[in-house]
Amino acid sequence: MTFQSQYVLTIDRLAMERCFIVADILADVYGQDYTEYGLIGLAKQSEPFHIVATPLLHGQQVTDLSVYQAGYDVFRLRDEMDILSKRLGQPLVPIAFIHRHPSSCGMSIIDEQFLTEVFVNQVSTVVTLQEMRIIKPGEFDCSCAEMERLSSQNKETKSFGRQVKIEYGVCFSIIINRDRQFSIDAAKKEWCPFCNKSQVSLASADLRENQKRSLTEEERKKLRKQLEVEIEAKLRFERIGVNKGA
């Protein structure tokens, strides 16, 4: 897949800390040093590239190799999103899937497939954006009459493209480990402006915390207690053998 322009995703310090502290709790309380787990990065609908909340997935079945969530638990996540939306005073939308690897933060083949074949399609149903840009022949994998006409016209005039309005959706995959390392990747789904056929491509991304201040010891303790309750309610352990190299 080809890479397109970089997208910058920002995240609240508290939302980011949640992702790491879960690993500490799993190791200290449950003895699960290498367990994977998943969270969803939620953003305000009015500011979709800024994560304000990172709830753990409901009912996730976790091992040291994978995270699985049954379909009926997705609806429970939607209920939690509604509650958080009311608390923050505006609708929240999913923009990132965050999960832990035992060591490396590199995206696996399965991670890439989930990002580009499942998650981007789910996100693009609720988060769509528009941009004006020059479209070039062959940029979209479609053979609609208007695209073919544009290609033929550009060959005759030797022009470099035509400016049109493009509708697209973007989502992110964030992979973390207990060493507080992370990687971020993005997928972009866009639609041909003439025939509406969609295509998906990987895009480069950057993740930045929007707050410089570290959490106080009291804030960290409070967050840890909250997460201990959340882990007990949401995670189901199904260990199948430690995979330290994942």
Q: Which domains does the chain have, with CATH numbers?
A: 3-127+173-187+203-237 (3.40.140)
pLDDT value for 9: 96
- Count the neighbouring beta carbons within 10 Å of the beta carbon of residue 9: 22
At 5 the pLDDT is: 57
**Closest Cα to residue 73, out of 62, 84, 59?**
59
Helices 13-28 and 217-234 pack at an angle, to 10 degrees, of 60
d(CA 68, CA 236): 10
pLDDT of the residue at 191: 93
Beta strand segments in 12-79, E: 38-44, 47-53, 60-62, 67-68
Averages of pLDDT over runs of 10 residues in the chain (246 residues) are 70 95 94 93 94 94 88 77 90 95 90 94 90 80 79 62 86 93 95 91 92 84 96 85 39
pLDDT of residue 214: 82
pTM of the shown model: 0.88
Cβ atoms 9, 96 nearer than 8 A:
yes
Strand partners, 169: 189
pLDDT, residue 77, reads 80
- Per-residue pLDDT at 98: 97
